[in-house]
Amino acid sequence: MSTKKSPAGRRQRVLLTRRERWVIPRWPPLRRVLKKILADHGVEGTLTLALVDDAEMRRVHQQFLGEDTATDVLSFLLDPEGIHGLDEVFGEVVVSAETALREARKRGLAPEREVGLYAIHGTLHLVGFDDTDAMSRRKMRREERKYLGMYEEE
C-alpha cells in the first residue's frame, strides 16, 4: 500500500449506488468520512459503496465468497496499490441496508448510523485493517469509533 498521504478529498472519490428501499444514508457526511479514510491512508482512486437488500447481499456473498448467507458488509479490493487515480476503482463496499435497519432497531440506533458503521468498517478493511485476532480487532474498533464520531458530528 502506498504510504504517500494526499489531502483529504483531493484524489479520492466515493460513489453511492442504492439498490434497496430501507435506509436513506446521510450521504454528504458519509461521503466525506469515507474520502477521509482513503486520504488518511494514502489511497487515491474511487471507492464505490453499494447499498443492497439481504437477497442481493446473499447473492454477492455466494458468488464471490461461496457463502450462501446474507451478511452485513463485504468489501472488495480492486486496485491494491491505490495509486491509479480517480479513473480507477480502488475498491467496492457492499452494505446490506436491510440488515442495518434490523440491527439498528434491535439496538435502538438510527439506521443511517448503522449503515455508516458498516461502510466505515468495509472501507477500513480496504485500507489494510483486519479483525481476525484480538489485537487487530481492537485497532479496527478504535478506527471505527474515530471515523464514526466524525460522521455523527456532521
| 63-115: pLDDT as tens digits | 999 999 999 999 999 866 655 566 678 899 999 999 999 999 999 999 999 99
| Side chain identity, residue 124 | L
pLDDT value, residue 135: 96
Mean per-residue pLDDT, 44-63: 95
| 26-47: pLDDT as tens digits | 999 999 999 999 999 988 889 9
Q: Which three cell numbers stand for residue 20?
A: 434497496
Domain residue extents for the chain: 12-153
Output the pTM of the full model.
0.89
**Beta-strand pair 45-52/73-77:** unpaired
- From first CA to last CA, the distance across the chain in angstroms is 29
Closest among 14, 99, 17 to 61, alpha carbons compared = 99
Alpha carbon distance 111, 104 (integer Å): 5
Q: How confident is the prediction for the chain on average, in pLDDT?
A: 89
Looking up cell 464514526 gives 148
List all residues 6 or more positions away from 147 whose beta carbon is below 8 Å from its beta carbon: 33, 36, 37, 120, 124
Residue 10 pLDDT more than 80? no
Q: Which three cell numbers stand for residue 91?
A: 475498491
Cβ atoms of residues 90 and 43 within 8 Å: yes
pLDDT value, residue 115: 97
CATH 3.40.390.30 fits 12-153, yes or no: yes
When pLDDT is cut at 50, 70 and 90, the band that residue 3 belongs to is very low
CA angle 9, 11, 17 (to 5 degrees): 70
**Beta-strand pair 73-77/89-96:** antiparallel
When pLDDT is cut at 50, 70 and 90, the band that residue 123 belongs to is very high
